[in-house]
Amino acid sequence: MPELPEVETVRRGLQPALEGQTLKSVIVRRAKLRIPFPKDFARRLTGSKVERLGRRAKYLFMHMQGGDVAIIHLGMTGHMTAISGKAPAPGKHDHVDFCTTAGATVRFNDVRRFGLMTLTTEEELETHRLIKNIGPDPLANSFSHEVLSAALKGRATSIKAALLDQKTVAGLGNIYVSESLFRSGISPKRQAKSVQGSRAEKLTRAIQEVLREAIEAGGSTLKDHRQPDGELGYFQHHFRVYGKDGETCPNCDDERYRIKKIVQAGRSTFYCSNCQR
């Protein structure tokens, strides 16, 4: 499911069930997702209070009283559901339950198991191996077109590949890269280093707009994504190019340039060759 807007939607949706609550039990039903759980994962979290939920790019953080931080990534198909009252029997892909003393259960489900959970501390969060190399979060105050231009400078790879690379900007995935490039009129095939000046400004604006609108819409539900209350996201209805190959472009509407689907770095890209240069 999850690019930045979906993860942010999950964070917001889990706040009522978790923030300020004490974990009565943590049940891990599978020792390993993408990476093994720390052996003391459940023990260290049990009995602690969740101070707040944070997010950096596609990573969700559970900041615990006492200084521990649980790092959670949803991979491709991970989602989290907040259940009030008695939780139903876990299904095949319900890998973890966080149960609070207030009687709520937050359940992590991940069909493909590309997600991960691990533990660190406040002091070591910024230097954690999963976190230390990722680039700026595009919705953070520190992000700007200057930061983006600098990250793209000198890079011969395509702008599509550069934006998917979490070291450039952290949080975009396959959907929102295509949508951002469309909104800024930039071809996904253009060399990253040529996106400078006004192009970088337009792209920065487009990225921020797309992400904000998507969060507002509860993210995009293609298959797996659900908000923690079970609601679907509905930003997929606002896609302009993603998954729309063969349709006419919503901008130029010119029959001669229908939305194209190409493969870059092994991933599909959707764009209009007329509007994006």
137 binds DNA, rule: CB under 7 A: no
Q: How far is CA 127 from the centre of its chain?
A: 20
Diameter over CA atoms, the chain: 63
2 is catalytic: yes
Q: Residue 184 CB, nearest distance to DNA (Å)?
A: 19
Among the listed ranges 36-44, 45-53, 96-104, 150-158, the one in contact with DNA (CB under 7 A) is 150-158
- Which residues, including other chains, have CB under 8 Å from residue 185's CB and lie 6 or more apart? 202, 275, 276, 277
Residues near DNA (CB under 7 A), total: 39
51 is catalytic: no
Q: What track of x and - describes contact with DNA for positions 14 through 53 (by CB under 7 A)?
A: --------------------x-------------------
95 binds DNA, rule: CB under 7 A: no
3 is catalytic: yes
Among 87, 114, 196, 274, binds DNA (CB under 7 A): 114
Among the listed ranges 14-22, 208-216, 246-254, 260-268, the one in contact with DNA (CB under 7 A) is 260-268
11 binds DNA, rule: CB under 7 A: no
Q: Residue 251 CB, nearest distance to DNA (Å)?
A: 22
- C-alpha–C-alpha distance, residues 222 and 219, integer Å: 10
- C-alpha–C-alpha distance, residues 141 and 101, integer Å: 36
Near DNA in 210-229, by CB under 7 A? 219-225
Among the listed ranges 47-55, 97-105, 172-180, 203-211, the one in contact with DNA (CB under 7 A) is 172-180
Near DNA in 55-94, by CB under 7 A? 57-58, 73, 75-77, 92-93
Of residues 21 and 41, the one with the C-beta less far from DNA? 41
- Indicate the Cα dihedral angle 195, 197, 203, 205, nearest 10°: 170
Among the listed ranges 18-26, 158-166, 182-190, 206-214, the one in contact with DNA (CB under 7 A) is 158-166
Identity of residue 12: R
Query: Contact, 45 vs 71, CB < 8 A?
Result: no
- C-alpha–C-alpha distance, residues 10 and 17, integer Å: 12
- Indicate the Cα dihedral angle 157, 115, 101, 233, nearest 10°: 60
**Residue showing tokens 């993408």:** 34
Residue of 3, 6, 51, 179 marked active site: 3
Q: In degrees, to the nearest 5, what angle opens at C-alpha 60 toward C-alphas 56 and 65?
A: 105
202 is catalytic: no
Q: Whose CA is closest to 150, among 188, 196, 205?
A: 196
- C-alpha–C-alpha distance, residues 155 and 219, integer Å: 30
Q: What track of x and - describes contact with DNA for positions 227 through 246 (by CB under 7 A)?
A: ------x-------------
**Residue showing tokens 């729309």:** 244
Q: If 0-12 CB within 10 Å is exposed, 13-18 middle and 19+ buried, where does residue 195 land?
A: buried
Residues annotated as part of the active site: 2-3, 58, 267
Interface with DNA (CB under 7 A): 1-3, 6, 34, 57-58, 73, 75-77, 92-93, 111-114, 130, 155-157, 161, 164, 166, 173-175, 219-225, 233, 265-268
